[in-house]
């Protein structure tokens, strides 16, 4: 059992990912960077000449070659740096790769606009050629987006404003991450600590209510003092979204956003309506929290404290792997065999070491196996993290194995499905394996909190975004006070049973996702799809499993709604959300019986 943070060279190789599968030596990356530059020079030659089938095919093949090589270099370089962010050689390598990546995007930027100018019926005829089979979805996208592409002169003007358009997001990031300074609060030992974003996330879960309250009030004291600055920054971000949508001939900023995934606006609206219609389930959960915590009233700073302290159990990494493999057994022998081989075959970087990037993620480059970064600390939460990242990795593994490069990448809309499904299967397995009521309540609390924060909270965020963008589109003058009023009213509706305070009206001011408009709803839809698919696999047998495995192997060969529909979940209807909420209600009922 590892109890102290060791240096990287003290960690056994079996606990480190094997980047040698891509490059035996970092110096080899520079050889590929030189090769990419050569390919870019060749690609430049297609500019202004994309006017016949053979030339377009050659350009597509060359773009795939250079794209794939660029992806390999970038993936390797960022993982090498993530091993140790203080490694100057790795930092220099990543800088060289990033620099070429910028040049790469600039050099190839002519390609899609030139294809857009062509008669789409001609491109469609080219797509019938068997040599274009890997590019048929790409060509379909050209036709779908054509009506929203402007003239050359207009496109150049919009492109020139790209950096200015990104200003609200950049300003918020700098303000939020560098300039905002919080004061001191007292910790559980009554010792003063400097409040930071990271410490807030820990303190808000403290068993000591005064610690939670103090951290909460201090955080929002600072955001209140910057309310007008952050408010104007966000308002300008909303105005930018609405302006771009109008210029590109969309009916709304929401439509412009969902169009990218070929998702009807009705999917977004269905999510909000279905959650609103069933919000009483959240109110029941709030009452349950109040009962378990034995509080006369529940405040917003009481929502994150665990109902059960983390289990005393500690797990070795080998034990975690064994639990995950057993927990995912319903996914079939082949899935388990592939995952087991990967977890033992250089996919995973397990332990925290000095300078290593925090958190967890899964990544990969086409043509090579996926990778998982962990900072394993032997807790049950780390076991769930392994299952989660394994879901991403296997989605990537099967997509890359079964799809050509052009169709191998899946979209954000479906990105969290495989990972969340794994966590749901693991929860079910662990609940079946224990007779300890405390452990059962811990597991159910973990799961219920996922529902609350991913389905209910993200939907509330999505509704806030919808309202504020509609206000601008209707000519209403947004102000920081109006943002606070809208946000406060939403919290009042969603969190009925919680005693409201003025501080929560400012929460919108600290949410970075709002600067990527209409993004957060995908967390809620993805979670709902995962729950529906997991339930289907547990009750539907081999047919449901076969459809799900086909989904994992589909990458981005079709639009996300279609891929999920083929897997057995129709996100164009409210049913997956309703079924997800039924699971929430069932788990809440189980939890209430344990208290």
List, as one string, the DSSP characters of 231-286: HHHHHHHHHHHHHHHHHTT-S-HHHHHHHTTT--HHHHHHHHHHHHHTTHHHHHHH
10 Å Cβ neighbour count for 122?
13
Query: DSSP class of residue 403?
Result: S
pLDDT in tens, 227-244: 999 999 999 999 999 999
* Confidence band for 188, pLDDT divided at 50, 70 and 90: very high
Is pLDDT of 373 > 70?
yes
For the residues 259-277, what does the mean pLDDT come to?
96
Q: Which residue has the tokens 């500690």?
A: 314
CA angle 462, 143, 116 (to 5 degrees): 105
pLDDT at 4: 66
Is pLDDT of 53 > 90?
yes
Helix (H) or strand (E) holding 530: helix 521-552
pLDDT at 198: 84
Pairing type for strands 184-186 and 192-194 reads antiparallel
Taken as a whole, the chain contains a residue count of 595
Percent of residues, the chain, with pLDDT higher than 70: 99
Out of 10, 147, 155, 389, the active site residue is 389
Is pLDDT of 412 > 60?
yes
Stated pTM of the model: 0.91
Residue 10 appears among annotated catalytic residues: no
End-to-end CA distance of the chain: 33
Dihedral class, residue 190 (left if φ above 0, else alpha if ψ from -120 to 50, else beta)? left
pLDDT at 326: 98
For the residues 287-312, what does the mean pLDDT come to?
91
Is pLDDT of 3 > 70?
no
Q: CB under 8 Å to 468, separation ≥6 — which residues?
A: 238, 478, 483, 486
Per the prediction, the chain carries an average pLDDT of 94
Helix (H) or strand (E) holding 563: helix 560-567
Range with the lowest mean pLDDT among 105-109, 125-129, 140-144?
A: 105-109
Is pLDDT of 69 > 90?
yes
Q: Which residue has the tokens 């070659």?
A: 65
pLDDT at 243: 96
* Confidence band for 2, pLDDT divided at 50, 70 and 90: very low
pLDDT at 154: 84
pLDDT at 125: 97
Percent of residues, the chain, with pLDDT higher than 90: 87
505, 495 in Cβ contact below 8 A? no
In the three-class reduction of DSSP (H, G, I as helix; E, B as strand; rest coil), residue 305 is classed as: coil
pLDDT in tens, 171-187: 998 999 888 999 999 99
pLDDT at 594: 92
pLDDT in tens, 577-595: 999 999 999 999 999 999 8
pLDDT at 313: 85
Q: What is the CATH number of domain 21-163?
A: 1.20.140.70
Instruction: Kindly report each contact of residues 506-510 with a partner whose C-beta sits within 8 Å and lies 24 or more positions away, as own/partner.
Output: 506/220, 506/223, 506/224, 506/227, 507/220, 508/234, 508/464, 508/483, 508/484, 509/223, 509/226, 509/227, 509/230, 509/231, 509/234, 509/483, 510/176, 510/219, 510/223
Is pLDDT of 20 > 80?
yes
pLDDT at 1: 40
For the residues 394-415, what does the mean pLDDT come to?
96
């Amino acid at each position: 059992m590892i109890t102290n943070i060791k240096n990287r060279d003290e960690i056994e190789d079996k606990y480190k990912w094997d980047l040698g599968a891509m490059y035996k030596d970092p110096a080899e990356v520079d050889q590929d960077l030189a090769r990419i530059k050569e390919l870019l020079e060749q690609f430049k030659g297609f500019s202004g000449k994309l006017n016949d089938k053979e030339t377009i095919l050659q350009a597509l093949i060359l773009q795939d070659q250079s794209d794939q090589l660029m992806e390999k270099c970038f993936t390797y370089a960022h993982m090498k740096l993530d091993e140790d962010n203080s490694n100057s050689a790795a930092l220099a390598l990543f800088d060289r790769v990033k620099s070429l990546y910028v040049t790469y995007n600039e050099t190839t930027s002519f390609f899609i606009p030139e294809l857009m100018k062509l008669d789409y019926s001609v491109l469609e005829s080219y797509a019938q050629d068997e040599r274009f089979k890997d590019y048929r979805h790409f060509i379909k996208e050209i036709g779908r987006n054509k009506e929203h592409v402007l003239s050359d002169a207009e496109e150049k003007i919009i492109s020139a404003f790209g950096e200015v358009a990104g200003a609200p997001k950049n300003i918020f990031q700098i303000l939020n991450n560098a300039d905002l300074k919080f004061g001191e609060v007292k910790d559980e030992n009554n010792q003063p600590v400097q409040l930071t974003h990271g410490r807030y996330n820990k303190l808000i879960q403290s068993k000591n209510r005064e610690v939670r309250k103090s951290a909460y009030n201090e955080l929002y004291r600072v955001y209140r003092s910057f309310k007008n600055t952050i408010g104007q920054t966000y308002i300008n971000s909303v105005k930018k979204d609405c302006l771009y949508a109008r210029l590109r001939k969309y009916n709304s900023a929401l439509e412009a956003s969902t169009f990218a995934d070929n998702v009807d606006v009705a999917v977004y609206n269905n999510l909000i309506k279905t959650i609103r219609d069933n919000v009483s389930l959240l109110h029941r959960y709030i009452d349950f929290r109040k009962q378990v915590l034995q509080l006369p009233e529940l405040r917003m700073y009481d929502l994150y404290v665990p109902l059960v302290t983390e289990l005393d159990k500690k797990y070795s990494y080998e034990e975690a792997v064994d639990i995950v493999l057993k927990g995912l057994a319903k996914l079939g022998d082949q899935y388990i065999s592939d995952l087991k081989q990967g977890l033992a075959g250089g996919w995973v970087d397990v332990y925290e070491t000095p300078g290593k990037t925090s958190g967890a993620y899964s990544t990969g480059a086409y043509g090579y196996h996926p990778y998982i970064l962990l900072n394993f600390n032997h807790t049950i939460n780390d076991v769930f993290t392994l299952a989660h990242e394994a879901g991403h990795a296997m989605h990537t593994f099967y997509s890359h194995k079964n799809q050509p490069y052009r169709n191998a990448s899946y979209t954000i809309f479906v990105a969290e499905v495989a990972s969340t499904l794994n966590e749901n299967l693991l929860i079910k397995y662990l609940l079946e394996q224990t007779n300890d009521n405390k452990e059962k309540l811990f597991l159910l609390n973990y799961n219920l909190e996922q529902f609350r924060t991913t389905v209910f909270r993200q939907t509330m965020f999505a509704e806030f975004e919808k309202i504020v963008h509609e206000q601008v589109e209707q000519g209403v003058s947004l102000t920081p006070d109006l943002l606070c009023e809208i946000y406060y009213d939403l919290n009042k509706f969603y969190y009925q049973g919680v005693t409201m305070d003025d501080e929560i009206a400012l929460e919108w001011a600290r949410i970075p996702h709002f600067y990527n408009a209409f993004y957060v709803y995908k967390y809620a839809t993805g979670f709902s799809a995962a729950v529906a698919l997991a339930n289907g696999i547990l009750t539907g047998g081999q047919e449901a499993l076969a459809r799900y495995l086909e989904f994992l192997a589909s990458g981005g060969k079709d639009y996300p709604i279609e891929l999920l529909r083929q897997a057995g979940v129709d996100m164009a209807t409210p049913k997956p959300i309703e079924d997800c909420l039924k699971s929430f209600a069932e788990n809440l009922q189980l939890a209430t019986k344990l208290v």
